[in-house]
Amino acid sequence: MSVSKLKVWRSRLMANHGKKALAAQTGFVYLFLYVPIAVMIALSFNDSRTAIVWNGFTTQWYEALFSGEAIARVDPNQAWIALQNSLIIAVVTVVVSVLFGTMLALALDRYVFTGRNLLQGVVYMPLIIPSIVMGISLLLFFNIVGLEQGIGTAIIGHIAFDISYVTVIVLARLQSFNRTLEEAAMDLGASELETFRWVTMPLIKPGIIAGALLGFAMSFDDFVVTFFIIGNQNTLPIFFFGMVRQGISPGVNVIATLILVGTLIIIALAQKIQGITW
Amino acid sequence: MTEYDVRLDGVSKFFGDVTAVEDVSFEVEQGKFLTLLGPSGCGKTTTLRMIAGFETPSEGDVYLRDQRINDLQPFERDTSMVFQSYALFPHMTVGENIAFGLQMQGIPGERTAADGGSVATQSSGLSGAFKRLVSRHGSEEIDTRVQRVLELVELPEMADRQISELSGGQQQRIALARALVTEPTVLLLDEPLGALDLKLRKNMQVELKNLQEELGITFVYVTHDQEEALTMSDEIAVMNEGRLEQLGTATEIYEEPASEFVADFIGETNLVHGTYAEDDDGASITDGSLTFRVKPHDEASGDIAFAIRPEKIRLGDDARGLDNEFSAEVIDEIYKGNLGKFVVKLENGRQLTVDLQLTDQGDYLSIGRDIRIGWDASNAVTLVR
């Protein structure tokens, strides 16, 4: 087949089937992404204590959880404590990381100082170092310093990698920021602080919010680092891990589904806040 | 006594090893329109930024009225800037953009009659400063002034628009309105018309000049466009390589350039180098076999140059009896709109550009023809630099 014939054949194929092929491919990608989650949600309504086989619809696991009964070895009180720990760690981590991460991003963007390139490179390290290395090194550090492991050390550990995520995202936003706007504000009589408040911050706000959301997810999600440094406390991922080791129970599915719903609500709220000027 | 709004005294600015501005001094009279004109990289924008406070002079002093302002922050200076990129705040409406300066200066209430006339209008007081961090207040005073300035720039209905909804020309006017609303002592404009198309730019040149005369505010305007400078300015400061080449009115700059750079940069000119000599009748410059009568200059001597504008050169019979009269050969022809431009070669090989109106002399000139050309000594400006 000559090249020109091949081209004709290809363009005809594209014209006749291109759209369908693209739609099918897109469909597969989404199936790949969402089928496992759908299965988990479905099984949280499955009327079976152990099997991963569909046995009929029930809401009994949800009712049991909300009334505080243990379902298939999952103790709701322990799950609740684990969730509380996860939330406390994530919230404190995000607040501290956003504050210091934004400040670090501003410093790296604005100032030329000795060691800036080194510092900028080092910021990315926690994103690259394997979590397991991070976990071990933090464990060593806390042991040497003599800090008792628990929620506090977990927070410190999470901040150590969360600052990087916030910094990287805010820095990206700052690099597309037009500095002339700040000059204009100061020219009009705004002090440095007023300029930051009314011009810089509103314009880098999407970066800060994105950094906070990612930082929250990273902290809330983290298993490996937390596992090394939290001592005998539980976070939700560690609690789940303990449960799943003894087989998947409907209780795990229920809690995971509820977390998913909670996450969606948080994201919806965050998007609503994005539109409002601080 | 003449009052000066802006005064630069021996100002230099170094960035590391690079000299951006070198020993520049000038004064801008109250209510005048001064243009800093020069090619890119000549230091004109740096000079403007030193007046605005975005750069600190390495040497010399900057004065606003009688106050030395070297060490004042941009927000402490009673200057407003119109930026080349407009720098309108994208997250605020047109009205909010314009109101911003008034709000940050603590208007209304905090500015008293006593400091109304001072150079620094930044209102002090901890409570005011704190309030401005929590919220930006609107007020009737602010609304009135925003509306008034919107009418001034002929966009009275635009207060609630988003910046992204405006055309380039409208953004330009809003940037101007935002800078004017605080009633600055001096308005600084950094190539504000650079981003507009030719027709709009022409219109805005006239409007800006009218506005400046109407308001009586001192303008310091930066441009690399000589035509813009000649159209709008009371005075032009021509800059090159960080130095001030010449300060004068448009006519002075054009008719009496002080240096080869100015003669060459403003309009079109013929530069002829040679040896200067004075005699009883005046002065002359000799280039090879030809001697040109030129305007005498006190500081002139040795090898220097003179400038003769293409439109000052007369042709044919018109050239007879002038101080300078030569025969020349037409070697090239350039058309530019209604103007016929020709390149002629003198006996000594020197080439000159001459203008003529096509309407007058149609096909009077053609390549290869020998013609007579001439000009008055008073039009041949001797250049000592």
Work out the burial of residue B96: count CB atoms within 10 Å of its CB; fewer than 13 is exposed, 13-18 middle, 19 or more buried. Answer: buried
3-state DSSP assignment of residue B283:
strand
Report the gap between the CA of A112 and the closest CA in chain B (Å): 14
- Please tell me the CATH code under which domain A74-245 is placed: 1.10.3720.10
How many beta-carbon pairs under 8 angstroms link A with B?
71
Q: Are residues B233 and B93 in the same domain?
A: yes
Q: Are residues B239 and B289 in the same domain?
A: no
Same structural domain for residues B287 and B349? yes
Instruction: Using the 3D structure, point to which of B194, B220, B253 is the last residue of a domain.
Output: B253
Range from A217-226, B117-126, B184-193 carrying the lowest mean pLDDT? B117-126
Last residue of a domain, one of B219, B253, B287: B253
Measured distance CA(B55)–CA(B242) in Å, rounded: 15
Which DSSP state fits A195? H
Same domain, B281 and B161: no
| Closest residue in chain B to residue A183, using alpha carbons only | B54
Contact B98, B158 (CB under 8 A): no
- Nearest-CB residue to B104 (from A181, A183, A189): A189
Instruction: Write the DSSP symbol of residue A148.
Output: P
Nearest CA in chain A to B81: A187
Burial class from Cβ neighbours inside 10 Å (0-12, 13-18, 19+) for residue A12 reads: exposed
HSE at residue B373, side-chain half, CA atoms within 13 A, is 26
Say yes or no: A206 contacts chain B, CB-CB below 8 A. no
Do the chains contact at A188 and B79, CB–CB below 8 Å?
no
- pLDDT at B115 (0 to 100): 42
**B278 found inside a domain:** yes
Q: How confident is the model at residue A195 (pLDDT cuts 50, 70, 90)?
A: very high
Confidence band of A145 (pLDDT split at 50, 70, 90) = very high
In a domain, B89, yes or no: yes
The string of pLDDT tens digits covering residues B229-279 is: 998 999 999 999 999 999 999 899 998 888 999 998 988 889 988 888 888
Judge if B29 and B144 occupy the same domain: yes
Residue B258 placed within a domain: no
Do B237 and B354 lie in a common domain? no
Residues A190, B136: C-beta atoms closer than 8 Å: no
What average pLDDT does range B336-347 have in this prediction?
77
pTM of the model: 0.77
- Is there a single domain that holds both residue B232 and residue B289? no
Structural domain harbouring B295 = 267-381
Measured between CA atoms, the residue of chain A closest to residue B175 is A184
Q: Give the tens place of pLDDT for each residue, B95-126.
A: 999 999 998 887 764 443 334 444 334 445 66
In a domain, B260, yes or no: no
Identify which has the larger pLDDT, B209 or B123. Answer: B209
Smallest CA-to-CA distance from A98 within A152, A170, A156, A153 is with: A170
Report CB contact under 8 Å: B81, A183: yes
Domain for residue B375, yes or no? yes
Q: How many CB atoms lie within 10 A of CB A29?
A: 10
Q: What is the CATH number of the domain that holds B311?
A: 2.40.50.140
Q: Domain check: are B368 and B234 in the same one? A: no
Give tens-digit pLDDT for B45-60.
999 999 999 999 999 9
Same-domain check for residues B194 and B299: no
Q: How confident is the model at residue B362 (pLDDT cuts 50, 70, 90)?
A: low
Residue A190 near chain B (CB below 8 Å): yes
pLDDT at B329 over 90: no
ipTM: 0.81
Counted domains in chain B: 2
* Chain A environment of B52 (Cβ under 8 Å): 183, 187
pLDDT band at A256 (very low <50, low <70, confident <90, very high): confident
* CATH at B248: 3.40.50.300
Same domain, B216 and B308: no
B186 and B286 together in one domain: no
- Structural domain includes residue B116: no
Residue A158 to residues A107, A224, A240: CA-CA distances in angstroms? 22, 11, 19
Instruction: Note the pLDDT of residue B361.
Output: 55
Signed CA dihedral, A135, A141, A147, A153: sign only: negative
pLDDT above 80 for A39:
yes
pLDDT over 50 (residue A29): yes
CA gap A126, B147 in Å, rounded: 53
Write down the pLDDT at residue A113: 87
| A73/B180: higher pLDDT | B180
Residue pair A46/A58 in contact by the 8 Å Cβ criterion:
yes
- Rg of chain B on CA atoms, in Å: 26
In Å, how far from its chain's centre is CA A107?
25
- Residue B252, phi then psi, degrees to nearest 5: -60, -45
Q: Is B262 a domain residue?
A: no
At A234-244, the pLDDT tens digits run 898 998 888 87
In a domain, B244, yes or no: yes
* B154 contacts: CB under 8 Å, gap ≥ 6: B173
How far apart, in whole angstroms, are the C-alpha atoms of residue B349 and residue B356? 22
Domain positions in chain A: 3-64, 74-245
Same domain, B196 and B310: no
> What pLDDT, on the 0 to 100 scale, is given for residue A277?
43
B13: helix, strand or coil: strand
